[in-house]
């Protein structure tokens, strides 16, 4: 797993849990408003943090932290994601995954080991999806990911980043129509570029 950042303690990234946040390097999307280019474009990658360092840190924080969040970049492009999630669980942590939902099969394989999943819905499910994501997106994968998350039985949320130029509020209504009643749906405003920092 290529890791570009670690937030050692967060109150806001895992609902109801004090959590560490692992930022993986690399993403298969190029969203127009992306505020994590240092985790997306290989030429901007910092020297990766080793898994050994992360694991030692998590071993020391057992009993203090409750959860671990895997986010990115896009964690599902990491070949060893399942193995790393299982290791974190074996240390006694709850696990949350943040994903763009583009790799449904991989997501399906890790869902049984998660306690929470947050999936981005980048745009209404039409031609604008690929435009906003900056790459061709297979919408079947997005639909499939949404369905598998719903059937998984774990806590989840869908979320959309609102940007006045690329994803205006007017289009949010179309996205809301994809949701089933009572589903948790978060709107987040596009953030300026910011490096993850240790805390």
CB nearer ligand SF4, residue 30 or residue 151: 30
Structure letter (DSSP) for residue 145: H
3-10: strand order across its sheet: 3-10, 19-24, 67-71, 94-99, 116-120, 155-162, 185-189
Min separation Cβ 29 and ligand SF4, Å: 4
CB nearer ligand SF4, residue 57 or residue 129: 129
* Residue from 7, 27, 95, 111 binding ligand SF4 (CB under 6 A): 27
* Residue from 36, 76, 78, 145 binding ligand SF4 (CB under 6 A): 36
Which has the closest alpha carbon to 165: 123, 136, 137? 123
* Residue from 23, 29, 70, 116 binding ligand SF4 (CB under 6 A): 29
Enumerate residues 162-181 that contact ligand SF4 by CB under 6 A. Answer: none
State whether residue 69 is helix, strand or coil: strand
* Residue from 72, 75, 101, 124 binding ligand SF4 (CB under 6 A): 72
Rounded distance, CA 148 to CA 145, Å? 5
- Each residue 79-118 as x (binds ligand SF4 by CB under 6 A) or -, in order, gives ---------------------x------------------
Rounded distance, CA 188 to CA 167, Å? 11
Which has the closest alpha carbon to 101: 61, 72, 62? 72
Range in contact with ligand SF4 (rule: CB under 6 A) among 7-15, 29-37, 147-155, 164-172: 29-37
Which has the closest alpha carbon to 161: 172, 153, 146, 173? 172
Rounded distance, CA 102 to CA 125, Å? 13
Min separation Cβ 116 and ligand SF4, Å: 18
Q: Where does this chain bind ligand SF4 (CB under 6 A)?
A: 27, 29-31, 34, 36, 39-40, 72-74, 100
């Amino acid at each position: 797993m290529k890791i570009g950042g670690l937030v050692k303690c967060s109150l806001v990234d895992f609902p109801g849990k004090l959590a560490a946040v692992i930022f993986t390097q690399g993403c298969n999307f190029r969203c127009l408003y992306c505020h994590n280019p240092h985790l997306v474009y290989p030429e901007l990658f910092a020297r990766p943090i080793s898994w050994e360092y992360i694991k030692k840190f998590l071993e020391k924080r057992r009993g203090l932290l409750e959860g671990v969040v895997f986010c990115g970049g896009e964690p599902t492009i990491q070949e060893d994601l399942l193995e790393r999630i299982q290791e974190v669980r074996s240390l006694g942590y709850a696990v949350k995954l943040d994903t763009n939902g583009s790799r449904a099969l991989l997501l399906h394989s890790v869902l049984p080991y998660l306690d929470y999943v947050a999936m981005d819905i980048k745009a209404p499910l039409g031609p604008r999806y690929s435009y906003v994501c900056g790459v061709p997106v297979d919408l079947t994968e997005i639909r499939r990911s949404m369905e598998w998350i719903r059937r998984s039985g774990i806590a989840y949320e869908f979320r959309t980043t609102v940007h006045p130029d690329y994803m205006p509020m007017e289009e949010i209504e179309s996205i809301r129509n994809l949701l089933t009643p009572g589903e948790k749906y978060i709107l987040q405003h596009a953030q300026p570029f910011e490096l993850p920092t240790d805390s």
